[in-house]
Amino acid sequence: MFPLLRELAVRMCVVATSAFVFSRMPIFRRMLAKVASGRDKIIITIGFGIFTLLGTYFGIEVQGAIANSRAVGAVVAGLLGGPWVGLGAGAIAGLHRWSLGGFTGLACGLSTALEGLLGGILATRVRKIDWEVGLATGLFAEAMQMVIILLVARPFAESLALVKVIGLPMILVNGAGVAIFITILSSLQAEGDRIGATQTQKVLEIARLSLPHLKRGLTESSAGYTARIIQELTGVDAVAFTDREKVLVHVGLGANHHRAGSPYLTQATARVLKEGHLEVAQSPEDIGCNYPNCPLGSGIIVPLYCQGRVVGTLKLYRARAEEITPVDMEVAAGLSQLFSTQLELAEVSRRAELAAQAELTALQAQINPHFLFNAINTIVSYCRTDPSMARSLLLDLAAYFRRNLERAGDFSTLGEELAHVRAYLALEKARFGHKLDLIEEVPPELLSTRLPRLTVEPLVENAVKHGIGPKPEGGRVLIKVESDEKMISLMVADTGVGMDSGTLNSVRRGLPPSGGIGLYNVDARMRNIYGPEHGLRIESTPGQGTTVRFSIPKEVGVDAERPAS
């Protein structure tokens, strides 16, 4: 038994080497990232099927049967690709083993297919696939094969004699093989996370360098400067910007025919402009450039939004087909969010200059640069420790500023206001941690209540900044909404440091900007729209916290669009 175990272990080194080589393929990375297409899954199934049947050829003939490592490929195929991929790979290798004959041919072929299916079923039920899961699955799968040999292979005496010889070595080696394979994949994922963290930092650097230029809007000049920054920092082979009709800039490969000012040439760009969704083109055919011998092999195209409509696209290209990775997708999506937000800001600024909208200017003025710097620093700190959290916070930051820069005169629903509050608090909780909690007591039927935009978030921001922030142990914010026959009432309360009587009286007398531009703005708009009796009502106790309330007429809260006379 021990010589057999040693020989199988030596041959398992070939499996480990194959796993490492296999894991470097782009299609394998897409499978790990759960973004594989149907075509990818078919290729993976066939690839793992071949890999699994090679376990037969690396096996050792014992008593008319073959001690082998087939289970490794079948189980890993299932764990990574799901039941159908596992079953398919196992069936390919199983049919091959059955075709070789021998008194265990049918039993071994059947068990290989079932091992792949077992791995796939476990993949749908286990949240995280690590080496321990791989080891347990491999051990169980191979033990199951021994049982199937005893049940199916005949004569039974020969089956029993065979299992006594090969059972324990095959169970141990195949279990270890699956664990080794999964360990290699885990290291690959860790490497991907490190790359993702680096790419997130690159996105922030791109934003820092390019956003000042995009303040002028999406022009050939601003797009050209930004495209050169992106290509330099990301290493892609080409970068392009378009508006809805033409190429604004194209730097890198293909610049000889994708010229600035000319109509865009690719079908993929037309689809993104029409549908408004990110599109990945993994081949020249997917890109759809009608220029002969275009050197662009693969690309990702993301829409750029302004005022709710697609105004252009950002395109990142690579020279080879199938080279767009999940990291490229994350970078492109993040840049799309940031640039779209900046284009929103550019449009808001243009409207403010043309129409001299004083209220809009006041709203822009209340965007706190310290909050922005703190948020960016928090995101940077998560880039290496928790890349997924960094990407999530980056999207929260984009959503927060997009909401802040929308036109102030419009109304929104209470549900939309609360979503804005959650985006803000997600960024603040990343700094405060367990010291900051939010409690919402909002009846679902009131979520459609209409009220002026940016009404709730400034009150919550004031509670966090002036109430909970200075308190060492932190605190919580309560948002409570109630209604009766005539009124809908909203309360924002915190358990912060509170205000002394002098500060409270000063705020009550007129809510001056020193008490917070957010409070002043909300109070002024509520009084203007609903009447003087609907301004903010503030109560505070030093050391216990502050409560801010306001109410709106119920019939107006359902559909309010005009200010009170």
Pick the CATH number of 407-558 from 1.20.1600.10, 3.40.50.1000, 3.30.565.10, 1.20.1250.20: 3.30.565.10
Determine the pLDDT at residue 361. 42
- pLDDT digit string, tens, across residues 306-345: 878 898 999 999 999 888 887 788 888 888 888 888 888 7
Pick the CATH number of 2-192 from 2.60.120.560, 1.10.1740.10, 1.10.760.10, 1.10.1760.20: 1.10.1760.20
| 52-55 contact pairs (CB < 8 A, 24+) | 52/77, 52/89, 52/90, 52/92, 52/93, 52/112, 52/116, 53/92, 53/93, 53/96, 53/97, 54/18, 55/15, 55/93
List the chain domain ranges.
Answer: 2-192, 215-353, 407-558
Determine the pLDDT at residue 391. 85
Percent of the chain residues topping a pLDDT of 70: 83
- pLDDT digit string, tens, across residues 476-518: 999 999 998 889 999 999 999 988 887 777 777 654 544 456 6
Determine the pLDDT at residue 360. 42
Determine the pLDDT at residue 356. 37
Q: Beta partners for 316?
A: 239, 300
Does residue 116 surpass a pLDDT of 80? yes
Q: How confident is the model at residue 550 (pLDDT cuts 50, 70, 90)?
A: very high
CA angle 192, 198, 202 (to 5 degrees): 135
Question: Average of pLDDT values for 92-102?
Answer: 90
Determine the pLDDT at residue 558. 47
DSSP 8-state symbol, 445 = G
Q: Distance between CA atoms of 151 and 48, rounded to whole angstroms?
A: 27
> Can you list the alpha helix ranges (DSSP code H) found in 278-357?
284-287, 326-355
Kindly state the greatest CA–CA separation across the chain. 99
Does residue 239 surpass a pLDDT of 90? yes
Determine the pLDDT at residue 365. 46
Q: How many CB atoms lie within 10 A of CB 400?
A: 24
Determine the pLDDT at residue 506. 72
503's CB contacts (< 8 A; 6+ apart) are 515
Q: Is residue 437 classed as helix, strand or coil in its secondary structure?
A: strand
Most confident of 60-64, 167-171, 369-373, 408-412: 167-171
Determine the pLDDT at residue 133. 86
- pLDDT digit string, tens, across residues 15-69: 667 766 766 677 776 776 666 778 888 988 998 888 888 888 877 777 777 777 7
Instruction: Round the average pLDDT of the chain to a whole number and report it.
Output: 81
Q: How confident is the model at residue 131 (pLDDT cuts 50, 70, 90)?
A: confident
Determine the pLDDT at residue 91. 93
Determine the pLDDT at residue 488. 93
Common-topology check for domains 215-353 and 407-558: no
Determine the pLDDT at residue 355. 45
Q: Distance between CA atoms of 254 and 238, rounded to whole angstroms?
A: 8
333's CB contacts (< 8 A; 6+ apart) are 278, 302
- pTM (predicted TM-score): 0.39
Separation in Å, CA 100 to CA 97, 108, 113, 148: 5, 11, 16, 18
What CATH architecture is 215-353?
A: 2-Layer Sandwich (3.30)
Q: Distance between CA atoms of 342 and 380, rounded to whole angstroms?
A: 20
Q: How many CB atoms lie within 10 A of CB 358?
A: 9
Q: What is the DSSP string of 133-183?
A: HHHHHHHHHHHHHHHHHHHHSSSHHHHHHHHHHHHHHHHHHHHHHHHHHHH
Kindly report the backbone phi and psi dihedral angles of residue 81, in degrees, each rounded to the nearest multiple of 5, phi listed first.
-105, -10
Question: Average of pLDDT values for 217-245?
Answer: 88
Question: 2-11, 115-124, 166-175: which has the minimum mean pLDDT?
Answer: 2-11
Q: How confident is the model at residue 444 (pLDDT cuts 50, 70, 90)?
A: very high
Determine the pLDDT at residue 368. 55
- pLDDT digit string, tens, across residues 359-397: 544 444 455 555 666 678 778 877 877 888 888 888 878
Q: Distance between CA atoms of 179 and 182, rounded to whole angstroms?
A: 5
